Amino acid sequence: MIHDNMFKPYLKEGEEIIWQGKPKSGLQLRDADIILIPVSIILIGFAVVLDYTMMLFEAPFIFKLAGVMFALAGIYFGGIRFFLDRNKRVNTYYCITSKRVLVISGRKRKLQTLPLKNIERLDLTEEKDGSGFIIFGNTNPLWPWLLGKFIMAGDQVPGLELIPEVKRVYNILEQEIKIEIDPALLQQVNEPKRHGLN
């Protein structure tokens, strides 16, 4: 649950909260897990056979280490990543204001912000249940799901993940990032047209 005053201390003058929410909770499976989970089981099996063979034939340490690495990768992709992802989402909160996107994450409540004027691209990925990802820029939405975070995002806010009713939030963002034209400027632009000038 999001407390109304969670984001209020971070608001600037004249800034208003338009929407706030958090990612879906619990363990989440996506369509590609139908492939990834069996592949991870095969990877673990391959690693066990590889390690057994390496020990049987007294292979160099580097080959034994490769087998252990395969096993760890299989365990991570087959199980651990789901729990890490769930724990990360528990401590993540999103807010869209009239000027920025704010994200509070982690136990230490780290704040990340992205001005709406800096959002040049907006991509929507919707799941079957209506939840989904909103990505700013060219970041791949698979990264947080596979590796627990967006890769090469730095301190930027690369997107919002697993938001319930993602289309509604997408529409809010789309509406807010539209460029507002000063009425006086619009009048100056339209003035020559009234006088028949091109």
Question: What confidence score (pLDDT) does residue 105 get?
Answer: 86
Question: What confidence score (pLDDT) does residue 96 get?
Answer: 93
Amino acid at 17: I
Question: What confidence score (pLDDT) does residue 152 get?
Answer: 43
Question: What confidence score (pLDDT) does residue 153 get?
Answer: 45
Question: What confidence score (pLDDT) does residue 19 get?
Answer: 93
186 and 194 in contact (C-beta within 8 Å)?
Answer: no
Question: What tokens does 42 get?
Answer: 């095969």
Residues of the chain with pLDDT under 50: 151-155
Question: What confidence score (pLDDT) does residue 179 get?
Answer: 56
Question: What confidence score (pLDDT) does residue 84 get?
Answer: 81
Q: How far apart are CA 127 and CA 172, in angstroms?
A: 18
Closest CA to 95 of 167, 2, 174: 2
Rounded (to 5) percent helix, strand, coil in the chain: 45, 20, 35
Question: What confidence score (pLDDT) does residue 102 get?
Answer: 92
